[in-house]
């Protein structure tokens, strides 16, 4: 921490001028003699793109309230008044004046990503609400906006019924990752239907007045929509006002945010102004809590927190109005001394899986949670039987690592009827009813694939074209196999230098990885330049096959893998592997914290994504003896 740091002794709200920020901070420094009493250790800077909307204002209130409970921290706020250049300048000014941590909410992802990436090299950064491109931040807290858009599409189909329907989509700001993801989810679902058409799309920058003006222009031009989907409630209200002025009735309206205040989403649903909103928590309280944890070096913090959205209609709006936005209808455990946890582990197919099992056992013992562990030996039907056995035993909560994404609806419906919450660990599932599971704890598999590909692109800058790739895939139908493939392919897509020769399914095991690599060598031989394996065990099997073929792994054929286990580190340190992306199996402590929160009636996030690193050969040599798995 810099000794010449300037601290503000009061929570200050700025109006977007870097000069104002500088002047106020300098004045506070002169008046208070910061550091003289030694009480205030940390200054947290909060950067907003604007403070016109109720959602952003609510976020600010939550941050202020939480930070006020910590005597060693102070917070300052800036408002860029919807100007991306001003927001960049605000952030740079706060850095100059010595903030210890930055919390940043983003509208224009493209404009803000470079400055956030730069700040991240200096201090921790929490990205809040609306995301940035890439992985250069300490923690992201926000909604699953792609899924939010899908939820809105399902509601639109329900509201329109079987009749033909024309839809107008009112998007947030161009360049906003949140707007892109909500639009993508909505369009994917509507695109599958033949009765409904998105006839017009307008951008209203999240603002009520702009949405009203834009919608009025469409209506005057002759557009008569059956339904309007707005990316937030402010724009939904603006669209409603335009409809009212043009005396057009019967148009269904969907918004999102669900703030409980005048003209907020909950009030709009209650008054029948809009049909549906989605409570999308701002994450302000959690951001402030995690900021304090980061500054106090609390270990084991996640990389991403995805909060759970809740659909609100006329049927359930009173519940949210009466209970508050932080209340949910999800399953929770009663407070009790002894929690019984049933853990249906997938198998023992890899070093990663063994470390994961041991982490859960150790963490449960330390937390005082009664643990029942059953191993499915990589058999989905056996895993389903284990879950049913846990239901009969009336455990308090079930945790499992699913073999594949499909086929869980029936057994999880049984768990729901029995009142037993289910947490997914390591792998996600695909079910129609998202309420069948409470939370997911694990990795961002798609990002792992992207990071593997980014290293290859960087390492191959001077390589001659084409670079021929063999891909060793994990278990078919499993979430890590699908997402690691998707992330890798999306990153190299369109780059003519890279050519995928063939993908083989190695089922995440060393033995099958070796067999598949033997097939690849028989088919392509010395033509192979790179092996991309979805996990370390398959990569290690491939290394054995390459050596038997009398080629040098790591030199003749470069090896890229995912997991970063101890055996992979040893292969990296002797030059037989080139790069590995960490997939942390030590999920036990985070799992136990989530279970205890759930037992206390606290809503836990929809997804808790672990923080992970990447390792080259040189990094592996330094880190080898620090590994816990």
Express each pLDDT in 293-307 by its tens digit: 999 998 778 999 999
Residue 266, token pair as written in the block: 């909950």
The CATH number given to whatever domain includes residue 511 is 3.40.50.2300
Question: In this structure, is residue 329 part of a structural domain?
Answer: no
The CA distance from 391 to 374, in Å, is: 13
Q: Are residues 570 and 592 in the same domain?
A: no
Question: In this structure, is residue 272 part of a structural domain?
Answer: no
Start-to-end CA span in the chain (Å): 32
Q: How many domains does the chain have?
A: 4
The CA distance from 512 to 148, in Å, is: 39
Q: Are residues 433 and 533 in the same domain?
A: no
Question: In this structure, is residue 267 part of a structural domain?
Answer: no
Chain-centroid distance, C-alpha 585: 18
The CA distance from 327 to 90, in Å, is: 35
Burial bucket for residue 440 (CB in 10 Å: 0-12, 13-18, 19+):
buried
Confidence of residue 575 (pLDDT cuts 50, 70, 90): very high
Q: By the 8 A CB rule, do 392 and 377 touch?
A: no
Confidence of residue 601 (pLDDT cuts 50, 70, 90): confident
Q: By the 8 A CB rule, do 308 and 598 touch?
A: no
List, for residues 276-290, the tens digit of each pLDDT value: 999 988 899 999 999
Confidence of residue 164 (pLDDT cuts 50, 70, 90): confident
Please name the residue that has the structure tokens 């003209």. Answer: 263
Among the residues of 140-258, which ranges form H helices?
A: 145-160, 177-191, 208-220, 233-245
Burial bucket for residue 135 (CB in 10 Å: 0-12, 13-18, 19+):
middle
Phi, psi of 533 (to 5 degrees): -105, 140
pLDDT at residue 373, as a whole number: 97
Q: Which of 34-43, 107-116, 215-224, 269-278 has the lowest mean pLDDT?
A: 34-43
The CA distance from 284 to 173, in Å, is: 21
Question: What are the residues whose beta carbons fall under 8 Å from the beta carbon of 550, sequence distance 6 or more?
Answer: none
The CA distance from 307 to 297, in Å, is: 23
Q: What is the CA radius of gyration of the chain?
A: 26
Residue 428, token pair as written in the block: 């996600």
Q: Are residues 571 and 602 in the same domain?
A: no
The pLDDT of residue 23 is above 60: no
- Length of the chain measured in residues: 629
Question: What are the residues whose beta carbons fall under 8 Å from the beta carbon of 569, sequence distance 6 or more?
Answer: 580, 615, 620, 623, 624, 627
List, for residues 344-375, the tens digit of each pLDDT value: 999 998 889 999 999 999 999 999 999 999 99
The residue range of the domain holding 498 is: 445-583
Phi, psi of 614 (to 5 degrees): -125, 155
Q: By the 8 A CB rule, do 237 and 263 touch?
A: yes
The beta-carbon contacts of 242-251 under 8 Å, at least 24 apart in sequence, are 242/211, 242/212, 242/213, 242/215, 242/216, 243/215, 243/219, 245/216, 246/216, 246/219, 246/220, 248/219, 248/224, 251/225, 251/226, 251/227
Q: Are residues 469 and 555 in the same domain?
A: yes
Closest to 505 in 3D by CA, of 532, 473, 471? 473
Q: Are residues 65 and 134 in the same domain?
A: yes
Closest to 498 in 3D by CA, of 453, 552, 445? 453
Higher pLDDT, 260 or 373: 373
Q: Are residues 38 and 124 in the same domain?
A: yes
Q: Are residues 525 and 454 in the same domain?
A: yes
Q: Are residues 121 and 154 in the same domain?
A: no
Q: By the 8 A CB rule, do 309 and 280 touch?
A: yes
Confidence of residue 620 (pLDDT cuts 50, 70, 90): confident
SS3 104: strand
Among the residues of 525-565, which ranges form H helices?
A: 536-548
pLDDT at residue 324, as a whole number: 53
The CA distance from 58 to 117, in Å, is: 26
Question: In this structure, is residue 198 part of a structural domain?
Answer: yes
Question: In this structure, is residue 108 part of a structural domain?
Answer: yes
Calculated CA dihedral for residues 21, 22, 24, 25, nearest 10 degrees? 110
The mean per-residue pLDDT over the stretch 49-75 comes to 89
List, for residues 378-401, the tens digit of each pLDDT value: 999 999 999 999 999 999 999 999
Q: Are residues 185 and 115 in the same domain?
A: no
The CA distance from 251 to 274, in Å, is: 9
The pLDDT of residue 222 is above 50: yes
Which neighbouring-strand residues pair with 75? 44
Q: Are residues 134 and 197 in the same domain?
A: no
List, for residues 502-549, the tens digit of each pLDDT value: 999 999 999 999 999 999 999 999 999 999 999 999 999 999 999 999
The pLDDT of residue 330 is above 80: no
pLDDT at residue 325, as a whole number: 45
The mean per-residue pLDDT over the stretch 75-98 comes to 94
Closest to 46 in 3D by CA, of 71, 5, 11? 11
pLDDT at residue 50, as a whole number: 85
pLDDT at residue 261, as a whole number: 87
> Does residue 466 have a cis bond before it (omega within 30 degrees)?
yes
Higher pLDDT, 20 or 449: 449
pLDDT at residue 468, as a whole number: 98
pLDDT at residue 190, as a whole number: 94
Confidence of residue 17 (pLDDT cuts 50, 70, 90): very low
Q: Are residues 433 and 461 in the same domain?
A: no
pLDDT at residue 591, as a whole number: 95
Confidence of residue 131 (pLDDT cuts 50, 70, 90): low
pLDDT at residue 426, as a whole number: 95
Higher pLDDT, 129 or 606: 606
pLDDT at residue 97, as a whole number: 87
Q: Are residues 125 and 196 in the same domain?
A: no
Q: Which of 412-426, 446-460, 502-516, 609-623 has the lowest mean pLDDT?
A: 609-623
Higher pLDDT, 67 or 193: 67
The mean per-residue pLDDT over the stretch 133-140 comes to 88
Chain-centroid distance, C-alpha 379: 29
pLDDT at residue 410, as a whole number: 97
Question: In this structure, is residue 19 part of a structural domain?
Answer: yes
DSSP state of 133: S
pLDDT at residue 337, as a whole number: 60
The pLDDT of residue 28 is above 50: no
pLDDT at residue 187, as a whole number: 96
| Average pLDDT, rounded, for the chain | 89
pLDDT at residue 12, as a whole number: 40
Question: In this structure, is residue 355 part of a structural domain?
Answer: yes
pLDDT at residue 2, as a whole number: 38
pLDDT at residue 422, as a whole number: 97
The pLDDT of residue 11 is above 50: no
Closest to 509 in 3D by CA, of 377, 352, 350? 350
Question: In this structure, is residue 312 part of a structural domain?
Answer: no
Q: How many CB atoms lie within 10 A of CB 309?
A: 23
């Amino acid at each position: 921490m810099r000794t010449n740091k300037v601290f503000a002794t009061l929570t200050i709200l700025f109006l977007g001028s870097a000069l104002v920020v500088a002047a106020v901070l300098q004045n506070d420094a002169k008046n208070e003699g910061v550091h003289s009493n030694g009480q205030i250790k940390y200054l947290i800077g909060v950067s907003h793109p604007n403070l016109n909307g109720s959602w952003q204002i609510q976020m600010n209130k939550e941050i202020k309230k939480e930070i006020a409970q910590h005597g060693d921290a102070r917070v300052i706020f800036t408002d860029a008044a919807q100007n991306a250049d001003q927001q960049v300048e605000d952030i740079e000014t706060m850095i100059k004046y010595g903030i210890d941590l930055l919390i940043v909410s983003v509208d224009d992802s493209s404009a803000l990503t470079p400055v956030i990436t730069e700040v991240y090299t200096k201090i921790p950064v929490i990205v809040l609400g609306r995301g940035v491109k890439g992985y250069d931040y300490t923690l992201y807290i926000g909604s699953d906006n792609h899924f939010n858009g899908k939820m809105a599409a399902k509601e639109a189909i329900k509201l329109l019924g079987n009749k033909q329907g024309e839809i107008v989509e009112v998007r947030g700001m161009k360049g906003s990752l949140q707007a892109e993801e909500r639009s993508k989810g909505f369009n994917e679902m509507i695109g599958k239907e033949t009765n409904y058409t998105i006839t017009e799309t307008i951008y209203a920058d999240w603002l009520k007045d702009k949405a009203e003006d834009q919608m009025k222009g469409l209506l005057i031009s002759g557009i008569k929509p059956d339904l309007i989907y707005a990316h937030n409630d402010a724009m939904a209200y603006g669209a409603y006002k335009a409809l009212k002025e043009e005396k057009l009735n019967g148009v269904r309206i969907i918004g999102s945010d669900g703030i409980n205040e005048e003209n907020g989403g909950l009030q709009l649903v209650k008054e029948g102004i809009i049909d549906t909103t989605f409570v999308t928590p701002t994450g302000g309280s959690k951001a402030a809590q995690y900021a304090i944890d980061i500054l106090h070096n609390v270990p084991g913090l996640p990389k991403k927190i995805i909060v759970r959205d809740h659909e609100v209609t006329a049927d359930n709006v009173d519940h949210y109005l009466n209970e508050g936005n932080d209340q949910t209808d999800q399953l929770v455990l009663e407070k009790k001394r002894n929690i019984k946890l049933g853990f249906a582990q997938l198998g023992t197919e890899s070093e990663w899986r063994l470390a994961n099992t041991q982490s859960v056992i150790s963490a449960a013992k330390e937390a005082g949670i009664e643990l029942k562990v059953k191993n499915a030996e990589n058999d989905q039907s056996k895993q389903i039987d284990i879950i049913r056995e846990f239901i009969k035993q009336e455990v308090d909560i079930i945790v499992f690592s699913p073999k594949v994404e499909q086929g869980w609806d029936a057994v999880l419906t049984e768990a729901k009827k029995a009142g037993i919450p289910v947490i997914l660990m390591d792998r996600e599932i695909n079910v129609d009813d998202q309420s069948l599971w409470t939370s997911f704890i694990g990795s961002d598999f798609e990002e792992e694939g992207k990071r593997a590909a980014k290293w290859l692109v960087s390492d191959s800058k001077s390589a001659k074209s084409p670079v021929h790739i063999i891909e060793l895939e994990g278990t078919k139908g499993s979430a890590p196999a699908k997402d690691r493939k998707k992330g890798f392919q999306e990153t190299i897509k369109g780059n003519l230098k890279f050519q995928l020769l063939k993908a083989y399914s190695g089922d995440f095991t060393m033995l099958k990885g070796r067999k598949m690599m033997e097939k690849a060598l028989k088919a392509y031989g010395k033509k192979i330049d790179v092996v991309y394996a979805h996990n370390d065990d398959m990569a290690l099997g491939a290394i054995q096959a390459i050596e038997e073929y009398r080629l040098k792994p790591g030199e003749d054929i470069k090896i890229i893998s995912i997991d970063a286990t101890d055996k992979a580190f040893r292969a990296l340190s002797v030059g037989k592997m080139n790069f590995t992306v960490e997939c942390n199996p030590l999920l036990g402590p985070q799992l136990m914290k989530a279970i205890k929160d759930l037992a206390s009636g606290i809503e836990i996030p929809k997804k808790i994504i672990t923080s992970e690193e990447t390792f080259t050969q040189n990094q592996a040599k330094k880190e080898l003896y620090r590994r816990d798995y």
